[in-house]
Amino acid sequence: KARVFKFGNKTADGNSTMKNLLGGKGANLAEMSSIGIPVPPGFTITTEVCTEYNLLGKEAVVALIKEEVEASIANIETQMETSFGDKDNPLLVSVRSGARVSMPGMMDTVLNLGMNDEVVLGLAQKTNNEQFAWDSYRRFIQMYGGVVLGMKPASKEDIDPFEEIMEDLKEKRGIQLDTEFTVQDLKDLVYDFKRKVKKRTGLDFPTDPWEQLWGAIIAVFNSWNGDRAVYYRNMNGYPADWGTAVNVQAMVYGNMGDNSGTGVCFTRDAGTGENVFNGEYLINAQGEDVVAGVRTPQQITKLGSQRWAELAKIDEADRRENYPSLEELMPSIFNELNTYQDILELHYRDMQDMEFTMQNGKLWILQTRNGKRTGAAMVKIAMDLLKEGMIDEKEALLLIEPNKLDELLHPIFDPRALKRANVIAQGLPASPGAATGKIVFFADEANKYKSSILVRIETSPEDLEGMNIAKGILTARGGMTSHAAVVARGMGKCCISGAGALKINYKKRTLTVDGHEYHEGDWISLNGSTGNIIEGKVATREPELGGEFAEIMKLADKYGVIKIRTNADSPKDAKVARSFGAQGIGLTRTEHMFFELDRIKAMREMILADTVKGRKQALEDLLPMQRADFEGIFEAMEGYAVTIRLLDPPLHEFVPHQLATQKELAEDMHISLQAVKNKVAELEEFNPMLGHRGCRLGNTYPEITEMQTRAIIEAALNLKERGIICKPEIMVPLVGTVKEFEAQEQIIRTTATTIFEERNDTVEYLVGTMIEIPRAALMADLIAEKADFFSFGTNDLTQMTFGYSRDDASKFLPIYIEKGILKVDPFEVIDQEGVGQLVKMGTEKGRVSKPNLKVGICGEHGGEPNSIEFFYNTGMDYVSCSPYRVPIARLVSAQAAI
Ligand code: PEP
Ligand code: MG
């Protein structure tokens, strides 16, 4: 089988459908090459080789691919008319990672590979540019040193060992920018860099290009298992066995002088979705300079440049003179780039994120991929592409990443509070959103406060975990395509970048703006949509969900089959869920209602009562409160079914466990403290989750079931009198045997009949059960003969099928996932193989007895995209999820059916 795929000169061995094998970058390079986009020639070593490497180690893998790699290098040599390691006419290459999905900055890259003391001279002569040759050499040692030889900063307060040498030299020479180094400076840097390598690693810097190449290839494979990559993979649920491909490509140079440069561009705005070509570039620079945010880049289009100048408060003359757009500076290159961006967007039928380099006036495209974007941009782009006729309705729906919709549903700054806000500075609106939190300066301290804002001069991929934890990210340097900006947009996290007015001192842990000093722990707020940095806390409010969001949701409902209900315990939640498009309630957990202050007392009295009479008395106090709850919920869900579950948790959850509260209760109830203590001790269980809970409560204390049924039925009758239609569905929890259900059903029906007689009126209602004990799934045919509906409680079903306690699993699950024993947390994503069998069997058996049996699911999995798809395929009627997941579930419902 082929392990190495070549591309370049308008041909390629691979194509864009081969992402799993070639990685996203490799597949797209092949595709671009085939459709005539100028990409530097190169080759891709497949992701399978990465997996082979992990199994077999370096030597065996090198032996496996040596011949193919050598032949592929020869192919580049032919196309570029250069020769690898040749001192007169050298070929230099880049070595980059590329997994099947883009993982920006998470893995390693080495540029300018093939350099040594002789090659640098040849390159200088050939290009007639000593400055460029030596700058490339020092960059190579720096990258190779960091990536392959492990030359990293010693601690977080330290800077990169090579940067340190450069800073020292700059200070000595009284210069500020890398571009100000003279040829002699660069030669000195190369010399000092190599000495540093020798000192730190004990080894000479490798001079043989082939040794360099193999070192870099292996380093890229290793970076798949680096901390950053592993964290990113886990965060996104990408399995370890995907591996990364390695792309080796002829170098083209953006740092050859003023007629060269490099940049990143997007076919549409990744923050807002607006259909404007945009991006950033730097003259006389290599790619890493743009994303690393070391120099603040310039805008590609004139429009972008003008918008940027307005934010940066730079006047038009100054802008044209000092920060011209590429469109103005190099119109013909801009036009060519503009043509390619159109071709690529049309070809891939999605917004593209491209990297390019201009070498001596020739444009090369280094990469294209479907661009990362915010949730808002995602929705707008999908609808715009649909309206432009580029894609159809189904494709538009498939362009929506369900989980990203979440971003649109969360609070924004209250406009009234914003009016009073004290804006202390402004940066680039790199990723929209509203964030308020306490200042932290180091990524690994982001969890120091409940809400933190990570404030950095610039971020690097090492900061990923902290960026994810922080509520927002603020950087002093870097543009719209800096690491911070790209990663934040991918996470949907509010980010402001390039706020030049900020002076950050890591040692003192201070942020200074206009002479005002802020410290770690001080509150600040970020408005990621305007770039405003605001002192203190700013109030937030619910977002408005009109426009494209409403349009895409309407489309989703057109194609969606499985219905979406919500889990809601209060009228407020029910209203929110309904505004998000919920079609009924799949689970109301009644116990939550008993925790409110005035009720917990009555509840405790009920529990502490020693006689049925005493219990009934206490329950009578609870009845009107519970009835009022149900009236509110029914009203909020008018016209839709509402499933109400009878009391489920073990009673000991309601009694006080602290001495002070026990005393209070004893006084209130005029009983002895000892009596309270005795009762608490009596309710103590070794294993409450498998103890006296669920229908075991209703079966041992039938008066509880009676009271709850009465509250439900009376609430429904009361609403009926007011002309409001409600459809109660009474649900019995934790059923394991048919008899358990039957006994409860009888109480419910008898109570309802009594009330109908009392009131001389009736309502329709259903009595069904949860399927959450494995035995219930096994006995589903018998249970279905009695029950009107099933609702799978996949939380308990997962707990009991795996035998993992819901309350304790967090102690070992992360380790299981890290070790690959489990791929994902089964409490989050339904385990289709195991627990899924019970769900399927339960549904099928149930429908053997009752072909029209209504079946749903109300465990947490009801809001998880993969699980929803599975439930759809199982033939369920509905999934029920928390209110904020409802739009996500509606979308997945459509995607599953398409
Ligand atoms: C379940 O077990 O899946 C369920 C919905 O019930 P609870 O989470 O309340 O136990
Ligand atoms: Mg349960």
Residue 869 CA to ligand 1 center (angstroms) comes to: 20
Render pLDDT for 779-809 as a digit per residue (tens, 0 to 9). Answer: 999 999 999 999 999 999 999 999 998 878 8
Given a cut of 70, is residue 550 above it in pLDDT?
yes
Torsion of CA 91, 92, 95, 100, to 10 degrees: -50
Render pLDDT for 335-349 as a digit per residue (tens, 0 to 9). Answer: 999 999 999 999 999
With a 6 A CB cut-off, is 772 part of the ligand 1 pocket?
Answer: yes
Q: Find, among 30, 2, 1, the residue nearest to 17 by Cα.
A: 30
Average pLDDT score over residue span 484-511: 85
With a 6 A CB cut-off, is 648 part of the ligand 1 pocket?
Answer: yes
Given a cut of 90, is residue 412 above it in pLDDT?
no
Q: Which of 858, 860, 876, 878 to mutate to test the pocket of ligand 1 (most atoms within 8 A of CB)?
A: 858
- Counting from 1 in the atom list of ligand 1, the atom nearest the Cα of 858 is 5
DSSP secondary structure letters along 650-689: -GGGTS--SHHHHHHHHHHHT--HHHHHHHHHHH--SSGG
- Across the chain, what does the average pLDDT equal? 92
Tell me whether the CATH fold assigned to 53-250 matches the one assigned to 261-373: no
**Active-site annotation holds for 483:** yes
Q: Find, among 781, 728, 692, the residue nearest to 585 by Cα.
A: 728
Domain ranges of the chain: 53-250, 261-373, 411-541, 560-650+685-897, 655-684
With a 6 A CB cut-off, is 540 part of the ligand 1 pocket?
Answer: no
Average pLDDT score over residue span 829-848: 97
Q: Find, among 839, 740, 728, 838, the residue nearest to 783 by Cα.
A: 740
**Active-site annotation holds for 347:** no
Render pLDDT for 96-152 as a digit per residue (tens, 0 to 9). Answer: 999 998 787 777 889 999 999 999 999 999 888 899 899 999 999 999 999 999 998
With a 6 A CB cut-off, is 695 part of the ligand 1 pocket?
Answer: no
Given a cut of 70, is residue 580 above it in pLDDT?
yes
* Spatial separation of the C-alpha atoms in residues 255 and 285, rounded to whole Å: 4
With a 6 A CB cut-off, is 864 part of the ligand 1 pocket?
Answer: no
Residue 793 CA to ligand 2 center (angstroms) comes to: 5
Given a cut of 70, is residue 26 above it in pLDDT?
yes
- Residue partners of 156: CB distance under 8 A and separation at least 6: 442, 444
Place of tokens 């996104």: 236
Render pLDDT for 51-109 as a digit per residue (tens, 0 to 9). Answer: 999 999 999 999 999 999 999 999 999 999 999 999 989 999 999 999 998 787 777 88
- Residue partners of 879: CB distance under 8 A and separation at least 6: 562, 563, 564, 565, 586, 856, 857, 862, 863, 868, 871, 889, 893
In this structure, what token pair is assigned to residue 473?
């990210």
Q: How far is CA 805 from CA 796, 799, 811, 812, in A?
A: 9, 6, 10, 11
* Spatial separation of the C-alpha atoms in residues 100 and 95, rounded to whole Å: 16
Per-residue buried b or exposed e for 498-529, using 16+ beta carbons within 10 Å of the residue's own CB: bbeebebeeeebbbebeeeebebeebbbbbbb
Given a cut of 80, is residue 596 above it in pLDDT?
no
Residue 770 CA to ligand 2 center (angstroms) comes to: 8
Residue 593 CA to ligand 1 center (angstroms) comes to: 16
Catalytic residue among 483, 695, 726, 881: 483
Confidence of residue 828 (pLDDT cuts 50, 70, 90): confident
Render pLDDT for 849-898 as a digit per residue (tens, 0 to 9). Answer: 999 999 999 998 999 999 999 999 999 999 999 888 899 999 999 999 99
In this structure, what token pair is assigned to residue 191?
């010399």
Catalytic residue among 265, 495, 858, 881: 858
Best mean pLDDT range from 144-148, 281-285, 544-548, 834-838: 834-838
Given a cut of 90, is residue 651 above it in pLDDT?
no
Render pLDDT for 517-536 as a digit per residue (tens, 0 to 9). Answer: 999 999 999 998 888 999 99
In sign, the C-alpha dihedral spanning 576, 577, 582, 585 is negative
Residue 3, classified by CB atoms within 10 Å of its CB into exposed (0-12), middle (13-18) or buried (19+), is: middle
What strands, in cross-sheet order, belong to the sheet with 4-8? 11-12, 4-8, 42-45, 244-250, 93-99, 109-113
Best mean pLDDT range from 197-211, 306-320, 543-557: 197-211
% of the chain with per-residue pLDDT over 70: 99
Helical H runs in 35-160? 47-56, 58-80, 117-127, 130-147
Structure confidence at residue 631 (pLDDT): 97
Given a cut of 90, is residue 668 above it in pLDDT?
no
Higher pLDDT pick, 817 / 797: 797
With a 6 A CB cut-off, is 806 part of the ligand 1 pocket?
Answer: no
Place of tokens 């394991």: 736
Structure confidence at residue 528 (pLDDT): 87
* Spatial separation of the C-alpha atoms in residues 424 and 426, rounded to whole Å: 7
Q: What CATH class is the domain 560-650+685-897?
A: alpha beta
**Bridge partners, 731 (sequence order):** 645, 768
User: What fold, for 261-373?
Assistant: D-amino Acid Aminotransferase; Chain A, domain 1 (3.30.470)
Please state whether beta strands 428-431 and 494-497 pair in parallel, antiparallel, or not at all (unpaired). antiparallel
Structure confidence at residue 108 (pLDDT): 83
Q: Find, among 665, 587, 655, the residue nearest to 858 by Cα.
A: 587
Structure confidence at residue 292 (pLDDT): 61
Ligand nearest to the backbone CA of 589: 1
Given a cut of 90, is residue 431 above it in pLDDT?
no
Given a cut of 90, is residue 493 above it in pLDDT?
no
Ligand nearest to the backbone CA of 794: 1
Is the CATH code 3.40.228.10 the one for domain 53-250?
A: no
Structure confidence at residue 597 (pLDDT): 64
Q: Find, among 662, 689, 690, 661, the residue nearest to 676 by Cα.
A: 662
Structure confidence at residue 290 (pLDDT): 67
Q: What CATH class is the domain 411-541?
A: alpha beta
Confidence of residue 294 (pLDDT cuts 50, 70, 90): low
Confidence of residue 491 (pLDDT cuts 50, 70, 90): confident
Beta strands in 824-866 (DSSP E): 854-857
Average pLDDT score over residue span 293-313: 86
Q: Which of 144-148, 505-509, 594-598, 857-861 has the lowest mean pLDDT?
A: 594-598
Gyration radius (Cα) of the chain, Å:
32
Given a cut of 80, is residue 410 above it in pLDDT?
no
Render pLDDT for 234-257 as a digit per residue (tens, 0 to 9). Answer: 888 888 889 999 999 999 988 888
Residue 587 CA to ligand 1 center (angstroms) comes to: 9
Query: What φ, ψ does residue 644 adopt, rounded to 5°?
Result: -115, 125
Average pLDDT score over residue span 587-608: 83
Structure confidence at residue 605 (pLDDT): 87
Ligand nearest to the backbone CA of 591: 1
Residue 798 CA to ligand 2 center (angstroms) comes to: 10
* Spatial separation of the C-alpha atoms in residues 542 and 448, rounded to whole Å: 27
Structure confidence at residue 291 (pLDDT): 63
Residue bearing the CA closest to ligand 1, atom 9: 589
DSSP 501: T
Confidence of residue 293 (pLDDT cuts 50, 70, 90): low
**Bridge partners, 563 (sequence order):** 878
With a 6 A CB cut-off, is 859 part of the ligand 1 pocket?
Answer: yes
Q: How far is CA 13 from CA 30, 31, 42, 233, 807, in A?
A: 7, 9, 11, 28, 52
Q: Which helix (H) or strand (E) holds 633?
A: helix 612-636
Render pLDDT for 614-630 as a digit per residue (tens, 0 to 9). Answer: 889 989 999 999 999 99
Residue 849 CA to ligand 1 center (angstroms) comes to: 25
Q: Which of 696, 791, 796 to mutate to test the pocket of ligand 1 (most atoms within 8 A of CB)?
A: 796
Structure confidence at residue 286 (pLDDT): 77
* Spatial separation of the C-alpha atoms in residues 642 and 630, rounded to whole Å: 9
**Bridge partners, 7 (sequence order):** 12, 42
* Spatial separation of the C-alpha atoms in residues 601 and 656, rounded to whole Å: 10
With a 6 A CB cut-off, is 587 part of the ligand 1 pocket?
Answer: yes
With a 6 A CB cut-off, is 650 part of the ligand 1 pocket?
Answer: no
- Counting from 1 in the atom list of ligand 1, the atom nearest the Cα of 799 is 2
Torsion of CA 824, 829, 830, 833, to 10 degrees: -30
Confidence of residue 760 (pLDDT cuts 50, 70, 90): very high
Structure confidence at residue 552 (pLDDT): 96
With a 6 A CB cut-off, is 794 part of the ligand 1 pocket?
Answer: yes
